Structure 1
Amino acid sequence: MKNVLLLKAGEAAASVRLSVGDYDRWFLQTLGLSGYRFDILHAHQGAKLPGDATGYDAVMMTGSPLSVTRLEPWMERAAALMVDAAERNIPVLGVCFGHQLLAHAYGGCVVRNPLGREIGTVQVELTPSGQADPLFQGMPSSVAVQATHEDIVPEPPEGTVVLAGNANTAVQALAFRPCSRGVQFHPEVQPDAMRALIQARAERLEAEATARGVPPGERVPRLLAGITPTPYGRQILVNFLEYFT
């Protein structure tokens, strides 16, 4: 049984939670509970964090509607815990917001993406380092994943290695330390959750699209039609827990 500390960094919109649950539930459902025990800490609500991650086999952090560009004290505390864990060779995986928070902690910057929000099922291309990394073991060089984010890590922090990218976001995955990884996309998100996320943001998505010259009423139907299963998402999470712990 592997003990995993899951740091919850925010909450999904109420309509999303009602239909498909919240961020932590997505991790548990996608991974399954066989062989894993999760301690979930609501870091964004100021939950008391352990002094260190000793006793855990891995630390993971969820996504969030909050932004690393507007740092709060709890974010700094969670970042310090993850960095300390990585330096103690306890595996760490940051997802979306968690990826960005790790990049900040290692000296990088986080900015609003000038190319706009990335949302829906997207392709990411593995770099040569990514193709050789255990996180992407057994995967093709181009992988379909679910994504939803406005912020990005524009440049890899010094001492880190880019593992994946695409035209919207050059830094889609990073190796921070030998056992510490970050992914900008959402390996835990299933198609039903992605559908709920798009529907919850439909009005905003349409407004963003029309501001960029897309005819009204086109973007949301196109995004919904483009949602596909992403089985490699689960494999990424399994690879992290199997190869790094």
Structure 2
Amino acid sequence: MKPFLILQLRPETEASDDEFTAILTKSGLSAKEVRRVRLDQDPLPADLRLENYAGVIVGGGPGCVSDTPEQKTPVEARIEDAVLSLMPEITARDFPFLGCCYGIGILGHHLGKVVSKERYSEEVGTSDCSLTKAGQSDPVLVGLPEQFEAFVGHKEAIQRLPEGCVHLISAPTCPYQMIRFGENVYATQFHPEADSDGFEVRINIYKHKGYFPPEDAQKLIDMCRAADVHAPEKILKNFVERYRG
């Protein structure tokens, strides 16, 4: 079996390691079945050839593609450039791709620069998601209920559906929660890998990053622990099962 390429964008080791473990656990992959690249530490492999992988999974991160160059740290700019450099080939080949949170920003920016902070930011917590008609028949969403909760927390969002994309999941607070380009390129605004433990880790790490007032951290942790969030992880499992062969 070809490995999956997991690209991580978080410069905080605790957050990156926790996300990596969550992706493996929720997808059913083992560490031997993936190639992990932390783009905050390493460049894309010089020998990277998409045909050597079953698919690409991109994690989340604190950066925003809609920030100006002056607003981005050198690390954030380098990470963003690395991921964006892969998108022309991924979309041209319709190569299996799953972008989680930051990944939908990368896809939306590549396809039409339709990502901004104009509308649809969501505070840290849960979002009430619903499958669209197209989502109800998509193979990566098999087994998901028509309505479910998912963990979110983002400052920017897709403002309009890029050309060539299908709208799969919506929410009242942010309409484009999941989209598909072509037949195999997927991205979610929410975090399909996240559970309450993982979100507690991120809340503590990012409480000074402008997502919420730092003094609200414990309140948000309590809210996330009380939430019933299990359905989104099925997306990771379905994606891997569809493409691992």
Q: Please, what TM-score do these two structures have when normalized by structure 2? A: 0.82
Q: 5+ unaligned residues in a row in structure 2: which ranges?
A: 70-76
* In 1: Cα distance, 2:175 partner to 2:89 partner: 27
Per the alignment, residue 40 of structure 1 pairs with 36
| Pairing partner for 1:63 from 60, 64, 85 | 60
| 1:224 and 2:219 matched | no
Per the alignment, residue 207 of structure 1 pairs with 213
Paired residues of 1:123 and 1:145 also in contact (CA < 8 A): yes
Q: CA deviation at 1:65?
A: 0.5
Paired residues of 2:2 and 2:52 also in contact (CA < 8 A): no
1:105-184 correspondence to structure 2 within 5 Å: 105-112=110-117, 114=119, 116-184=121-189
Per the alignment, residue 80 of structure 1 pairs with 85
Residue identity opposite 1:221 in structure 2: K
More deviation, 138-147/79-88 = 79-88
| 1:24 and 2:20 matched | yes
| Pairing partner for 1:101 from 100, 106, 110 | 106
Q: CA deviation at 1:54?
A: 1.4
* In 1: Cα distance, 2:243 partner to 2:92 partner: 14
| Pairing partner for 1:186 from 191, 197, 221 | 191
Give deviations 1:14-44, integer Å, cap 9, x for gaps.
Answer: 6xx28x9443232123324359711011224
Note closer, same or farther for the CA distance 1:99–1:115 as it changes in structure 2 (3 Å cut): closer
More deviation, 225-234/151-160 = 225-234
Q: 5+ unaligned residues in a row in structure 1: which ranges?
A: 209-216
Q: CA deviation at 1:123?
A: 1.9
Per the alignment, residue 235 of structure 1 pairs with 234
Q: How many residues align?
A: 233
Q: Please, what TM-score do these two structures have when normalized by structure 1? A: 0.82
Paired residues of 2:65 and 2:105 also in contact (CA < 8 A): yes
Give deviations 1:213-237, integer Å, cap 9, x for gaps.
Answer: xxxx778526623433422222100
Per the alignment, residue 9 of structure 2 pairs with 9
More deviation, 197-206/159-168 = 197-206
* In 2: Cα distance, 1:31 partner to 1:154 partner: 29
Q: With a CA cutoff of 8 Å and minimum separation of 6, indicate the structure with the bigger relative contact order.
A: 2
